[in-house]
Amino acid sequence: MLAQQIVNAISLGGVYALFALGFTLIFGVLNVLNLAHGALFMLGAYAALAAVVFLQLPLLAAVLVAMLVTGIAGWILDKVIFAPLRTRRAPHLAPMIATIGVAITMTSLVEGSFGAENLRFPPEVLPTEILTLGPVQITQLELKIIFLAFALMGVLLWGLKKSRFGRALRALAESPKAAALMGVDVEGFFRVTSIIAALLGGASGVLIALNTNAVFPHMGQPMLHKGIAVVILGGMGDIRGALLGGFFLAFAEVFSVAYIGSTMRDAVAFGSLFVVLLLRPQGLFGHAAQRRA
Amino acid sequence: MRRSGELESSKTPANLMEWFESFWATYNTLVLSIGTNVLLALSIYLTLATGLLTVANAAFMGIGAYTAGLLTTQAELPFFVALLLAALLPALVALMIGGPTLRLSGVYLAMATLAFGEVVRIFILNAEDLTGGALGLNGIPQLTGGFEVVLIVGLTLYIFLCLARSRIGMTMTAICQDETATELMGVNVRGYKLFVFVVGAALAGLAGGLNAHFTFFISPNEYGFERAVEILAMGVLGGTGSPWGAVVGGVLITVLPELLRGLGHYRPLINGVILILIILYSPKGIWALLRPARAATGLPGTN
Amino acid sequence: MLALSSVSVRFGGLHVLEEVSLTVPERGIFGLIGPNGAGKTTVFNLVTGLLSPSFGAIEFMGQRMNGMLPYQITRAGIARTFQNIRIFKEMKLVENVLVALGARSTYTAGVWLPLTSYHDAERQDREVARALLAKVGLADKAERYAGTLSYGEQRRLEIARALATQPKLLLLDEPAAGMNRVEKQVLVDEIVKLNQNGLTILIIEHDMGVIMNLCHEIAVLNFGSLIAVGPPDKIRANPKVIEAYLGPDDRSPSKLQVTS
């Protein structure tokens, strides 16, 4: 059922790309490897679940709530951790180590508050209608997920390419000093980038949670590893690479599960990550990025 | 306790003996944990002091733990041999992947070692016939005693202290500060990096072997991300100024969750908070707070 | 002693060095000058092994150096200082020098045993390190942290460290940068002394006064190509050199006084 696999891969790829976009955005602009991105992903899933269960919100509203929550978390992350370290000109691996601390802390808190078990969305919330498009059967849910993922990516890409904000952001990514000299509010932009990246992470968390109907504290971990694999494949800080890499990984996973077996699925991500790092650290699409001033 | 026979000594008063025996009965696991954690802290201290941020030591610990555990349970080899191989096998693995991996630096090295850790964990998980997979390895004999741990930790610490004061230690610090300049002074930087990586792996493996033989049961999740973070926290907390920092880091990380009653469950939370606090307020580790005169070189990536 | 034959360094379409050939004679003082971006530091990076040439060969004392690792090249007898001083600021002066001495030492094995032979050897090395520091006039500051030194003193430390590797060829990258007239004279005297003791020197400098007085021979680079080679007075009068520095207008080819 090739067509079916392709549809699965597209929906998975959309989410992977969304996650990777947030991840690579922080690396490209703030020059930080945000290892708390997986925790933000997890936070988004829990926030959406809470919105549905406690606030009785419909699905779309829940997604927005999740994005709001993770956006705030991203704001906090920058304000409390990244910004002070920037001011102090900390060694450049320091923020990354701090995000490891944040990730573990968040995961631990969530586990303590909600328990370690797999939580599910209440069945009445998930649309179960199945549509048949030719040889492919796709649930309404999956369709919504694909739509949402692509919509968010579209907005982001359009924003980056066409808007004044996007142009400033790209300038900032190349050279913060030069951007500052041109009147760009560097700190403000860093903060906003952090928020946007967190939003994307949270959104992808909800989407995966809906896709698999599983919400658990450690769900960010494997996703983080996949995010790393994607941005390495696509080139660190490279937007286009994150997109292509996300779909590439999704396709590789779906097809290896179909034809090899599911236990080694995660190994596909890490195996390729390891190999790429060793052979071509700038990724399949990236260029050896040199940060100038 | 198995050891009570050896505690006889005509010179010490009887109540001290009793106190020691009851102390040991209650706290032996804690003391042994402190010992293995200090070893782990020393293993990452070595690489951090040379400017390498690697998070692979949890995986090496796992390899060591499973090696030793399998050797004592399946092959019924003596403990000493099992420990030796627990140190040797991770060292060999480190030797194999070290060459290409250590060419990376900064975030790339961290990510590669992170990925390596995951690969090892997945491998252990899937090699069910050998390792018991997700169900873990059960019934490992309780062979680790205070004596072994103290001996090994003491020996390692002594060697590290000598190393730190010697020119080798100076060269490691130099590599951490400016790799290129150091290489241009005729130092085989690649060789040094491989050396610390392999020794660190051996030490972590040894710690794993020791740890497996007082926890009775091991599973792949013991050696995953949370363990890697714990080891990193110990290293960051201790700082790279001196091996004593690693001792402090190892002791604190082990003991703190126990002291804060009932929070033993929240061990990962505490490690996370410690990491954040240290990075924000004392990036050179707690040792720098205690001994500000002898400035530590700080974390990798300082230059 | 050192020979570059048709060496080119290209990064994709960027030709950093094109067909550069030059020979540094033994016991000479050879200058390398040219406008910023001409490729001078690239030559240094090539010679010390930090870069590999895209084409061409580098020979040192008859031995082919292409592809050798930097530390091997240093052990073969080539040492260098940097344009932006790269000393270990958080280590003591004597430690800075000790690291450089270490490359040649053979006594590492006994490091964890209080064997007298190890400690004797280490003590000896410390003596050698102090002697080197004395040579550059920093003996009294041996136990201070390198970060506390003044700029000029840091430069001298760099030289001491380079000397510790017992080089036969010393590469100096803009050693006079940021120095006043007096310091420059001291530097020149030091370099002449080192040369008289048998060291071959290759020096990049912008200060024409220093270069013209010091060097036996000078090579001029511009946009990655060698435009002139010869003794100082020939170079001074060379119209191509003048054009490279001052632009293509007419100036009398007399004394070239450019101070940095």
What is the pLDDT averaged over residues B183-201? 92
The closest CB to that of A93, out of B122, B265, B300, belongs to B300
Task: Compute the average pLDDT of residues B74-84.
Answer: 86
Dihedral, CA atoms, B156, B161, B167, B171, nearest 10 degrees?
80
The first and second tokens of residue C222, run together, are: 């511009």
Between B131 and B238, the higher pLDDT residue: B238
Task: Please enumerate, as own/partner, the contacts of C39-44 that have beta carbons within 8 Å and a separation of 24 or more.
Answer: C39/C9, C39/C221, C39/C223, C39/C224, C40/C204, C40/C221, C41/C83, C41/C173, C41/C204, C42/C9, C42/C16, C42/C17, C42/C224, C43/C4, C43/C17, C43/C221, C44/C80, C44/C171, C44/C173, C44/C202, C44/C204
Dist. CA C188–CA A39, nearest whole Å = 60
Q: How many CB atoms lie within 10 A of CB B11?
A: 4
Sequence length of chain A is 293
Q: Do chains C and A touch (3 or more CB pairs under 8 A)?
A: no
> Which of B48, B55, B225 to probe the A interface (max A CBs under 10 A)?
B225
Please name the helix (run of DSSP H) or strand (run of DSSP E) that holds residue A263, with its range, or none.
Answer: none
Contact B163 C50 (CB under 8 A): no
Range of the domain at A164: 11-220
> pLDDT class for C248, splitting at 50, 70, 90?
low
Q: Where are the domains of chain B?
A: 28-221
Q: What average pLDDT score do residues B65-82 get?
A: 87
Region of residue C180 (left: phi > 0; alpha: psi -120 to 50; beta: else): beta
Residue pair B154/B42 in contact by the 8 Å Cβ criterion: no
Among the partner-chain residues B174, B186, B295, the one whose CB lies closest to the CB of C104 is B186
The count of structural domains within chain A is 1
Taking the C-alpha atoms of residue A77 and residue A94, their distance in angstroms, rounded to an integer, is: 14
Longest pairwise C-alpha distance within chain B:
62
Has residue A68 been placed in a domain?
A: yes
ipTM of the complex: 0.83
- What digits encode the pLDDT tens for the residues B144-180? 778 888 999 999 999 898 888 888 888 999 999 888 8
Locate A154 and state its tokens.
């579209």
From CA B244, how far away is CA B161, in angstroms rounded?
A: 8
pLDDT digits over A101-141, tens only? 999 999 999 998 888 889 888 887 777 777 777 777 777 78
3-state percent helix, strand, coil for chain C, nearest multiple of 5: 40, 25, 35
What letter would DSSP give residue C156? H
Residue A47: left (phi > 0), alpha (psi -120 to 50), or beta?
Answer: alpha
**Which is more confident, C165 or B300?**
C165
Would you list which residues of chain C are within 8 Å, Cβ to Cβ, of chain B? 48, 50, 69-71, 74-75, 79-80, 82, 86-91, 95-96, 98-105, 108, 111-112, 122, 125, 145, 161-162, 164-165
Q: Are A29 and A189 in contact (CB under 8 A)?
A: yes
Residues C147-195 have pLDDT tens digits of 888 888 888 899 999 999 889 999 999 988 888 888 888 888 889 988 9
- Strand runs labelled E in chain A: 130-133, 136-139
Question: Chain B, 282-301: which have a CB under 8 Å from a chain C CB?
Answer: 295, 297
Helices B57-73 and B14-49: crossing angle in degrees, nearest 10, is 130
Cα(B171)–Cα(B49) distance, integer angstroms: 10
Contacts of A274 in chain B (CB under 8 A): 112, 115-116, 119
What CA–CA distances, in Å, run from B270 to A70, A105, B258?
22, 7, 11
Contact list in B for residue A96 (CB cut-off 8 A) is 107, 110
- pLDDT above 90: residue A73: yes
Please, which residues bridge with residue C228 across strands? C220
pLDDT band at A289 (very low <50, low <70, confident <90, very high): very low
pLDDT tens figures, C47-70: 998 888 888 888 898 888 888 889
List, for residues B99-112, the tens digit of each pLDDT value.
Answer: 888 888 888 888 88
What is the per-residue pLDDT for B262? 62
Query: C11: which strand partners?
Result: C14
Q: Tell me how far apart the alpha carbons of residues A66 and B249 are, in angstroms, rounded to a whole number.
A: 37
Q: Pick A225's closest partner by Cβ from B100, B118, B283.
A: B118
- Residue A3: inside a domain: no
CB proximity B127 to A under 8 Å: no
Looking at per-residue pLDDT, the higher value among A282 and B272 belongs to B272
pLDDT band at C258; cut points 50, 70, 90 = low
Q: Is B142 left (phi over 0), alpha (psi -120 to 50) or beta?
A: beta
* Rg, chain B, Cα only: 19
Residue B195 pLDDT? 93
All residues of chain C having their beta carbon less than 8 Å from the beta carbon of residue B158 are: 112
Q: Which helix (H) or strand (E) holds A14?
A: helix A2-30
Return the amino acid letter for C182.
Answer: V
Residue A248 included in any domain: no
B180 touches chain C (CB under 8 A): yes
User: Coil, strand, or helix at residue A119?
Assistant: strand
Q: Which residue has the tokens 């006079």?
A: C176
Please give the pLDDT value at position A168. Answer: 81
**Shortest Cα–Cα distance, B116 to chain A (Å):** 7
Distances (CA, A) of A203 to A30, A236, C186: 21, 21, 66
Q: Coil, strand, or helix at residue C170? A: strand
User: Is A292 within a domain?
Assistant: no
The answer, yes or no, to whether residue A288 has pLDDT greater than 70, is no
- Amino acid sitting at position C94: V
DSSP C158: H
Interface touch A270/B115, C-beta < 8 Å: yes
Q: Which residues neighbour C77 within 8 Å (Cβ) at sequence distance 6 or greater?
A: C60, C61, C166, C167, C168, C169
Q: Give yes or no for residue B1 having a pLDDT over 50.
A: no
Question: How confident is the model at residue B30, as a pLDDT?
Answer: 85
| A201: nearest Cα among A47, A2, A42, A79 | A42
The answer to whether residue A241 sits within a structural domain is: no
What pLDDT does A175 receive?
81
Q: Give the DSSP letter string of C172-235.
A: EESTTTT--HHHHHHHHHHHHHHHHTT-EEEEE-S-HHHHHHH-SEEEEEETTEEEEEE-HHHH
In sequence order, the 6+-apart residues with CB closer than 8 A to the CB of B285 are B236, B237, B238, B239, B240, B241, B245, B249, B278, B296
Q: Are B213 and B77 in contact (CB under 8 A)?
A: no
Q: Is the dihedral of CA A89, A94, A99, A101 positive or negative?
A: negative
If pLDDT is split at 50, 70 and 90, which confidence band does B45 have?
Answer: very high
| Average pLDDT score over chain C | 83
Q: Is the pLDDT of residue B214 over 70?
A: yes
Overall average pLDDT of the A86-105 stretch: 88
Pairing of strands C29-33, C14-24: unpaired
| DSSP helix/strand/coil, A236 | coil
A168-221: pLDDT as tens digits: 888 888 887 888 777 778 888 899 999 999 999 999 999 999 888 889 999 998
Torsion, CA B149, CA B232, CA A107, CA A66, rounded to 10: -170
pLDDT at A292 over 70: no
Interchain CB contact of B146 with A (< 8 Å): no
HEC states along chain B?
CHHHHHHCCCCCCHHHHHHHHHHHHHHHHHHHHHHHHHHHHHHHHHHHHCCCCCCCHHHHHHHHHHHHHHHHHCCCCCHHHHHHHHHHHHHHHHHHHHHHHCCCCHHHHHHHHHHHHHHHHHHHHHCHHHHCHHHCECCCCCCCCHHHHHHHHHHHHHHHHHHHHCHHHHHHHHHHHCHHHHHCCCCCHHHHHHHHHHHHHHHHHHHHHHHHHHHCCECHHHHCHHHHHHHHHHHHHHCCCCHHHHHHHHHHHHHHHHHCCCHHHHHHHHHHHHHHHHHHHCCCCHHHHHCCCCCCCCCCCCC
Partner A contacted by B301 (CB < 8 A): yes
Q: Do C91 and B173 touch (CB under 8 A)?
A: yes
The predicted pLDDT at position B87 comes to: 94
pLDDT tens by residue, C215-224: 999 998 888 8
Residue B116 touches partner A, C-beta closer than 8 Å: yes
Single pTM value for the model? 0.86
CA distance C26 to B267: 65
- Residue C75, pLDDT > 60, answer yes
Within-domain flag for A76: yes
Max Cα separation, chain C? Answer: 72
Distance of CA A136 to the CA centre of its chain: 27
Q: Count H helices, E strands: chain A? A: 12, 2
Q: Which of C75, C99, C76, C77 is CA-nearest to residue C158?
A: C99
What pLDDT does residue B295 have?
45
